[in-house]
């Protein structure tokens, strides 16, 4: 079981931001921006490559709702999902990173090991 499945199961605590019956949004434990929220489906999918496209549509609605809820829908945010080894995925349960709260730097060389987001 991945750490995010344990969070869904209530076995590990999280700093919850928004939840419905299918999705959960909570603060990243190691934030890379003033606002750094992880968004996950409660059902297990390893990554976006395995995600159900129909459920992905519902997840998009949840992400849009989250952006309104935390007040960044107008100011903007960055949405990132890392997929697989070359994508830098560490937790093998699909998640999106929502980064916001500042004008974010865009590293034009994502293969630079110093680069974050």
Q: Which residues are catalytic?
A: 95
Nearer to ligand 5GP, 34 or 74 (CB): 34
Nearer to ligand 5GP, 21 or 90 (CB): 90
* Residue partners of 42: CB distance under 8 A and separation at least 6: 8, 21, 22, 23, 24
Nearer to ligand 5GP, 74 or 82 (CB): 82
Instruction: Kindly state the smallest distance separating residue 42's Cβ from ligand 5GP, in Å.
Output: 15
**Residue with token string 């750490």:** 3
Instruction: Kindly state the smallest distance separating residue 15's Cβ from ligand 5GP, in Å.
Output: 7
Sites of contact with ligand 5GP (CB under 6 A): 3, 14, 26-30, 38, 82, 88-91
CB-based contact 18:65 (threshold 8 Å): yes
Instruction: Kindly state the smallest distance separating residue 24's Cβ from ligand 5GP, in Å.
Output: 11
86-91 contacts at long range (C-beta below 8 A, 24 or more positions apart)? 87/47, 89/47, 91/2, 91/3, 91/4
């Amino acid at each position: 079981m991945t750490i995010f499945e344990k969070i869904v199961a209530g076995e590990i605590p999280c700093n919850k931001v928004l939840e419905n019956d299918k999705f959960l949004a909570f603060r990243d434990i190691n934030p890379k921006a003033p606002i750094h929220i992880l968004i996950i489906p409660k059902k297990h999918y390893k990554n976006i490559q395995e995600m159900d496209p129909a459920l992905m549509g519902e997840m998009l609605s949840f992400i849009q709702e989250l952006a309104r809820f935390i007040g960044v829908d107008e100011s903007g945010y960055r949405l990132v999902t890392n997929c697989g080894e070359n994508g830098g995925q560490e937790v093998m349960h699909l998640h999106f990173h929502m980064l916001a709260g500042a004008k974010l730097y865009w590293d034009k060389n994502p293969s630079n090991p110093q680069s974050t987001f």
